[in-house]
Structure 1
Amino acid sequence: MIDTPGGGSADGSARDASPADGRGPIVPTPEQLGAMFASLRSLRGLTLAEVASIAGISVGHLSQLERGIGNPSYATLVGLSTALGVPVGSFFAVASGSGLVRADARSTLRVASSDYMIELLTPNTSGRLGAYLAHLPPHWSGEDVHLVHEGEEWCMTLEGTVQLHLDDETHELRVGDAFTWNATRTHWWSNATSTPAQVLTVMTPPSF
């Protein structure tokens, strides 16, 4: 569940946020995510129906999300980022300031009905470099979300074994294995094993 404070700015992007005691993951609540979705949609002059159609969800579902009811799935987050013209990274509740990101106070996105989670390792997503730690639960697949974005991307498996699907290729990456690719190639991840996996990814620019 998404259950700790984050924030949204007037332009619909995540504002600076931090836990009250300075510790713990920083994640946007459903209400804050909904406010971001509604603000971005309003700024772009789009109707609920237009955004829902592009994102591949129903108008009713989008309306509920904008009102902070329920958590979006991974596929819905990616679909809304496309419909609203922003990277998924803009939905992080960012604790900016210095270049330091404490291990116990990372900006985090969790998705509904899954243990899939992404942690932001850079202070924000507005610079020229983005670093993320993805947690892939057992038997998880992102096959329904094929990613294509600008820039170059690099990854290394830190725990478990994952599959990087790149166009029509599949690369199995074990602990310590690394891979670099042009992010304009279609790519997605899966974990076909019965144990959790962690993947460190770095991209420039942070266009995910």
Structure 2
Amino acid sequence: MEFPKEEVGKRIRHLRKSQGFTADDLAKKAGVSQSMISQIERGQVSPSLETLWKMSHCLKVPVFTFFEAENQQDVTVTRKSELVDLERIRPNAIYQVLSPNHGKQICLFKLILAPGDVSDNPLVFHSGEECGVVLTGSIQVEVDGKFYDLDEGDSIYFDSNLPHRFVNTSDDTSIAIWAMTDPI
């Protein structure tokens, strides 16, 4: 399922306004122009990964929030056919949101990492906590300058405020199930 840039823009606008920010406020905090924020919110441009991460940090929400359908139900079932692949969030990675967390405290997703050197990927950080388990392959998780090599069946937990990134260290695609809290 592809998520239209118009929907992403609407969510960003809603979050910005609900937190009392003007487009200019968000632009200054994210280090982009006010016209860029306006174009993103109207669905005229697709923001880069870097811009999405900056905006999510400014708005204090996980970047996945921009791609979730609004849903305030007590029980949410996500069918395989409804999964949204968030490609290009990071090179060599696909994120599949398994349980939308709009208004909830936990986001569950599948992390699919293609093999390849992504050591130039920026480290990211955001509020909350993360934990994950490797289903297939091997993943190296860098957290605050330390490296943790995880193989099939291994798991990790860390504070998301610490700069972190994921690297597939195997020759094949690696898959992990990840949970991330959103205390905001």
**Alignment TM-score > 0.5, same fold:** yes
What's 1:105 paired with? Answer: 82
- Please, which moves more after superposition, 113-122 or 78-87? 113-122
Structure 2 gaps, min length 5:
none
CA RMSD of aligned residues (A): 3.0
What is the aligned partner in structure 1 of residue 153 from structure 2?
176
Preserved contact between residue 57 and residue 126 of structure 2 (Cα < 8 Å): no
* Cα distance between partner residues in 1 of 2:127 and 2:90: 26
- What is the percent sequence identity of the aligned residues? 25
| CA displacement 1:100-142 (0-9 Å, x = unmatched) | 3222222443337945322222253433433111222333357
Offset at 1:89? Answer: 3.0
The secondary structure found in structure 1 opposite 2:158 is: strand
What SS class does the counterpart of residue 115 from structure 2 fall into?
Answer: coil
Q: Determine the structure 1 residue equivalent to 2:47.
A: 72
Q: Indicate the residue corresponding to 1:33 in structure 2.
A: 8
Correspondence 1:190 to 2:171 = no
Q: Per the alignment, do residues 148 and 176 of structure 1 end up closer, same or farther by CA in structure 2, a change over 3 Å counting?
A: same
Structure 1 residues 116 and 70: CA distance shift in structure 2, 3 A: farther
Partner secondary structure for residue 104 of structure 1: helix
Q: 1:41 to 1:100 in 2, by over 3 A?
A: closer
Taking a change above 3 Å as real, the CA distance of residues 95 and 61 of structure 1, as seen in their structure-2 partners, is: closer
Query: Of Structure 1 and Structure 2, which has the larger fraction of its residues in strand?
Result: 2
8 Å Cα contact 1:142/1:188 also seen in 2:
no
Aligned to 2:122: 144
The SS at the match of 2:80 is coil
> Which has the higher mean CA deviation after the structures are superposed, 117-126 or 75-84?
117-126
